[in-house]
């Protein structure tokens, strides 16, 4: 009895180790994907953040300037007229030039915002391109891990155990005249895996029920 208990404990320990290894492999896969993506966009994210702040600052400055421009234009025109009447043509021309510079500043702000918008869109597209590239490489790593596990579960363990049922039955001469007299029945084979409608069963149907 003690030996059987020790063997059962050993089998359970192996099962727990396999479960822990699978969890560790899953965590590593997720960590690798996220790490590769973070490295790929390491310079793009802060650039986008800085551009976003600059865009907002320009927007605020542009709104303030838009509120002041009409008044500045009236003041500049009045000063121009005063200087012109005083005979200072050069000074009057300078006042109009200053007003034009203010108008150009507003245009420059709008142009800079448009350039920022274009760059921000490009940054987002670069991020998406990195995500696609990284996913493709990472998908291969996922498959390289999953396929051996899949083979081990279905071919080595499940199919192997099922075949061993028949082998053991034949070697022990426990095949009865009827099905009920056999060492095992179909239910014993089905009972190796989770029951129908269980989460495992549902996911198995999801993964294997529909193939491309």
Q: Which of 83, 106, 87, 208 is nearest to 150 (CA)?
A: 208
Range in 19-23, 86-90, 110-114, 176-180 with the lowest mean pLDDT: 176-180
Place of tokens 């490009």: 122
Instruction: Please tell me whether residue 85 adopts helix, strand or coil conformation.
Output: helix
Range in 15-19, 57-61, 68-72, 97-101 with the lowest mean pLDDT: 68-72
b/e 23-61 (16+ beta carbons within 10 angstroms → b): eeeeeeeeeebeebbeebbeeeeeebeebeeebeebeee
CA distance 76 to 71: 8
What letter does residue 156 receive in the DSSP assignment? I
Q: Which pLDDT value is given to residue 75?
A: 62
Q: Which of 58, 56, 67 is nearest to 111 (CA)?
A: 58
Q: Is the pLDDT higher at 161 or at 69?
A: 161
136: tokens are 């493709």
CA distance 173 to 160: 20
Q: What is the pTM of this model?
A: 0.71
For the segment 32-71, what is each residue's pLDDT rounded down to a tens digit? 999 999 999 999 999 999 999 999 999 888 777 666 566 5
- Average pLDDT score over residue span 91-102: 67
Q: Is the pLDDT higher at 2 or at 74?
A: 2
How far does the chain reach from its first CA to its final CA, in angstroms? 50
Angstrom CA distances, 116 to 59, 121, 180, 186, stand at: 12, 9, 78, 68
Report yes or no: 61 and 109 within 8 Å, Cβ to Cβ. Answer: yes
CA 64 to chain centre: 40
For the segment 69-95, what is each residue's pLDDT rounded down to a tens digit? 665 666 666 665 665 566 666 665 676
Q: Which pLDDT value is given to residue 177?
A: 57
């Amino acid at each position: 009895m003690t030996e059987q208990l020790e063997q059962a404990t050993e089998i359970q320990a192996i099962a727990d180790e396999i479960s822990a290894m699978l969890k560790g492999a899953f965590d590593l896969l997720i960590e690798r994907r996220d790490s590769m993506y973070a490295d790929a966009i390491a310079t793009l994210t802060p650039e986008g953040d800085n551009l976003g702040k600059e865009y907002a600052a320009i927007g605020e400055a542009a709104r303030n300037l838009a509120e002041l421009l009409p008044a500045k234009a009236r003041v500049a025109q009045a000063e121009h007229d005063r200087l012109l009447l005083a005979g200072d043509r050069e000074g009057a021309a300078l006042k109009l030039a200053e007003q034009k510079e203010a108008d150009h500043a507003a245009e420059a702000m709008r142009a800079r915002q448009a350039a920022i918008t274009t760059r921000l869109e490009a940054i987002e597209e670069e991020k998406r391109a990195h995500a696609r590239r990284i996913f493709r490489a990472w998908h291969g790593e996922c498959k390289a891990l999953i396929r051996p596990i899949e083979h081990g579960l279905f071919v080595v363990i499940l199919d192997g155990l099922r075949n061993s049922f028949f082998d053991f039955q034949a070697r022990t001469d426990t095949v009865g005249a009827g099905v009920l007299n056999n060492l095992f029945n179909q239910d014993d084979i089905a009972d190796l895996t989770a029951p129908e409608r269980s989460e495992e069963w549902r996911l198995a149907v999801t993964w294997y029920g529909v193939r491309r």
